[in-house]
Amino acid sequence: MPSLWLVIVISWIAQDLLRALITPFMAVPDMYILALGMLFTKESYNEVLILVAAFIGGLLWDARWGAPLGFTSMLYVGCLIVVKIAWGAVSHAAKTPAVAFFLVFSVHLCASLIELILYRNTVLFPGFSFMMKQIGALIFCLFVHARLLREEMD
């Protein structure tokens, strides 16, 4: 179980550092929710702990970046609930890494659109910055998924 918390902490810190460094130029992918979403599709992790981590991480994010307290928590937990419902609707035979990857990325895309609409963030304006955020999300999903696959093989 230590790797669960390691992934969670590293993804939150990495997202925070990248946002501090890159935000004036482009939007940063929500690596924290991507990591939690990829963990959520694995059967070996406690789903309640992942939801609690999403809630706490969202509160810390709001406190750190001045968003309305609890909004990011609501968004993160809501995204994970959507992942859980959609993942539960998929048949056992169809629960492949590609489906998990597509599902988590789709939820990230929807969360990005919600942030775009509610925050009216000019950095996220649909264009180069928004596309780079989604490409970064794809790359991060690949890294987390590769790490989880390696963990399964060990």
Residue 7 CB coordination number (10 Å): 22
Q: Write down the residue that tokens 């460094």 correspond to.
A: 21
pTM of the entire structure? Answer: 0.83
DSSP letter assigned to residue 125: S
Instruction: Please tell me the distance from the alpha carbon of residue 152 to that of residue 7, in angstroms, as a whole number.
Output: 15
pLDDT tens, position by position, 106-121: 999 888 888 777 766 5
Contact partners, residue 74, CB within 8 Å, separation at least 6:
58
Q: Which of 76, 46, 49 is nearest to 60 (CA)?
A: 76
The string of pLDDT tens digits covering residues 55-64 is 999 999 888 8
The sign one gets for the Cα dihedral 128, 63, 70, 140 is positive
